[in-house]
Structure formats: C-alpha cells, structure tokens
Amino acid sequence: QKMVWAKLVNEKTLTKDGHHVELAANIGTPNDIEGVHNNGAEGVGLYRTEFLYMGRNELPTEEEQFEAYKKVVESMEGKPVVIRTLDIGGDKELPYLDLPKEMNPFLGFRAIRLCLEKQEMFRTQLRALLRASAFGNLKIMFPMIATLEEFRQGKQILEEERQTLEKNGVKVNREMEIGIMVEIPSTAVMAPQFAKEVDFFSIGTNDLIQYTMAADRMNEKVSYLYQPYNPAILRLVKMVIDASHQEGKWTGMCGEMAGDEIAIPLLLGLGLDEFSMSATSVLPARSQLASITKQEAEIVAMESLNKNTADEVKELVRSKFF
C-alpha cells in the first residue's frame, strides 16, 4: 500500500474519470513544510498561525511573522498557501493577553472577534502577511466569521494596511485572495450573500459540526453527537459549495472531515474544490480519489442528503465504495 502511495507523490489528484481536485495540507509552523513536500500536497490549505503566538511571553513582532510567512510561501514555489489570521480563544489561550475567564469559551471572545477589538495586534499580523504576499501565492482567511459585517471590517482594515504599505513603497500582491472560514452555521446559511464578497470559502468542520450539533468538540460525553456524516452537516456543506460556484468562487475544506475516507466520496460528489488535511493523509486520499468517478460520487452524495441519520449515510457510502 505504501509503495502505491509513494508513486503518487508527484502526481496531480485526478478522479477515475479525470476530474482534478486540489489536495492541500494543514500546517502549524514553517517546519511542517518538509512534510508537505514529502507527501506531495498541491498547496497549503490551512496555516494555523496560533503557534507563532503560543509558548512565549509576548506577541510576536511583525518581522518575526513576516519571516515565518515568507519562508512558507517561498518554499511552496507558487503553489497556493492559505494563511489564517490569529484564531486564539476557545481551547487555545495566550496567558500574556490576559483575557477574561468566560463561561463558554467556544462561544466567546475568540478569533476574529478578538482581532477586531485588539486592532494593533491584528494590524501587525496583516502587515506581515501583506509583505509576505509579494513572495508567492499567499491567500488570507479570517476565522470564525459569523456575520458579513465582521468580514467587511476585517477586509477594510486589511485594505488600510495595504494602502499604508504601498504609500511607503513596500511591494504587496494586489491580486491576493481574501477568504473566510465557514465554521459557524449562520455563515453557511448566508453563504449566497457571503459569496458575492469573499474570494473563497474554507469549511472548518471541526467547529461547524460542534456548533451545528451543539456538542463541545472536547467533551467525551457528547462525542456521539459529533457527526460529520449527519445529513444536516452535508446539507450545510452543499449550500456553501453551491453558493460559491454560483458566484464563480471556490470552496475548500480544512477540518478533519476533509481527510476522512467515508467523507471524501461525498465531498467530491458535492463539488468540493480543495481538500486540506494532515500531510500524511494526502497520498491515501489521492489514491482513493483515483479509484472513484466524480459521476458516481455525485449520485451517492445526492442520495446521502435524503438519508435520515449519519449511520444511514455511512452505510450507503460503505456499500457503494468499499
């Protein structure tokens, strides 16, 4: 099996009937890039920048961040690199920010909510990202977007920083795509509206499932409700993908679900454009995709939307593809 996978390192990802989808990797630090290359990922679909901020006593400087982002973008040699702005809060804490203790951290002051308030911190990161954008194919995405206003504010701030940099003669990529994570149900439901303003979506199923099912992703007691194959989740995913395509935009997925062998045929059938997963899942996923046609995946995906339970969906996929 490993030998079969190894042959696919330098191959494009093609289904049995010749459709291309992009298989990208999730990373946490520039050191993860080696794994991205060794496993033949076609891009970085999620760079979690939190790690730059964690395990230290103060905020990282613009220069430190610029160096990290530039390193990743350059080493990908023109392949897409989606960098997510700071997603702190929830399960990830920063002691030096001295944030108030909350009753429900996962429903609280985190990610873009925090960045829009702590603007100096946010602007520093955006400047580092804008500067790094001149060195390759960098795309920015905002985490935990719940409303259009949040996206517009984030984009406005980014635009202000871009103009200031350019006024000072700094080179930035003006064509840089700006997207959002879809990990809150309100945003999935409003995807047609968002799709007119964003350049792309990346579905964060780790959070989207937790918020849709109202089941804490860290709580063992309710883990049975953590159901990627629940038709409710699949319907939301379909809404997002369809909305993006309607506007000529693309949709990726960077939650764990994107690398799951039961989910992969369903996501292919629903029209997902980019799958981002842990680097070690890329070759198994490429091998799996080569064995199924998009046409049969579409039929099964449509059927799955009309199932009643997650177990029924799982059974359907198993009977058709395994």
Residues lying near ligand PEP in the complex (CB under 6 A): 46, 48, 87, 183, 204-207, 254-255
Tokens 């969906």, residue?
Answer: 313
CB of 237 to ligand PEP, least distance (A): 12
DSSP string, 234-303: HHHHHHHHHHHHHTT-EEEE-SGGGG-TTHHHHHHHHT--EEEE-GGGHHHHHHHHHTS-HHHHHHHHHH
15 interface partner picked from Mg ion, ligand PEP, none, CB below 5 to 8 A per type = none
For 293, counting Cβ atoms within 10 Å of its Cβ (0-12 exposed, 13-18 middle, 19+ buried), the class is middle
Backbone angles phi and psi of 202, in degrees to 5: -130, 120
29 interface partner picked from Mg ion, ligand PEP, none, CB below 5 to 8 A per type = none
177 interface partner picked from Mg ion, ligand PEP, none, CB below 5 to 8 A per type = none
CA gap 78, 135 in Å, rounded = 8
DSSP H helical ranges for the chain: 2-6, 33-38, 50-53, 62-75, 111-117, 119-132, 148-167, 185-189, 191-195, 205-213, 231-246, 263-270, 282-290, 294-305, 310-321
3 state DSSP class of 38: helix
CB of 185 to ligand PEP, least distance (A): 13
205 interface partner picked from Mg ion, ligand PEP, none, CB below 5 to 8 A per type = ligand PEP
209 interface partner picked from Mg ion, ligand PEP, none, CB below 5 to 8 A per type = none
CB of 138 to ligand PEP, least distance (A): 18
Q: Would you say 29 or 206 has its CB closer to ligand PEP?
A: 206
Q: Would you say 94 or 289 has its CB closer to Mg ion?
A: 94
Please give the single-letter amino acid code of residue 41: A
Q: Would you say 173 or 210 has its CB closer to ligand PEP?
A: 210
255 interface partner picked from Mg ion, ligand PEP, none, CB below 5 to 8 A per type = ligand PEP
48 interface partner picked from Mg ion, ligand PEP, none, CB below 5 to 8 A per type = ligand PEP
3 state DSSP class of 39: coil
Q: Would you say 183 or 273 has its CB closer to Mg ion?
A: 183
CB of 3 to ligand PEP, least distance (A): 31
CA gap 4, 8 in Å, rounded = 7
CB of 183 to Mg ion, least distance (A): 5
CA gap 304, 298 in Å, rounded = 10
Q: Would you say 46 or 114 has its CB closer to ligand PEP?
A: 46
Q: Would you say 40 or 204 has its CB closer to Mg ion?
A: 204
CB of 205 to ligand PEP, least distance (A): 5
Q: Would you say 177 or 183 has its CB closer to Mg ion?
A: 183
By CB under 5 A, name the binding residues for Mg ion: 183, 204, 207
288 interface partner picked from ligand PEP, Mg ion, none, CB below 5 to 8 A per type = none
Q: Would you say 110 or 294 has its CB closer to ligand PEP?
A: 110
Residue 70 has a CB neighbour count (10 Å cut-off) of 20
CB of 306 to ligand PEP, least distance (A): 25
Q: CA 223 from chain center: how many Å?
A: 22
Enter the tokens of residue 158: 């980014």
CA gap 267, 108 in Å, rounded = 30
Could you tell me which residues are beta bridge partners of residue 107? Answer: none
CB of 7 to Mg ion, least distance (A): 34
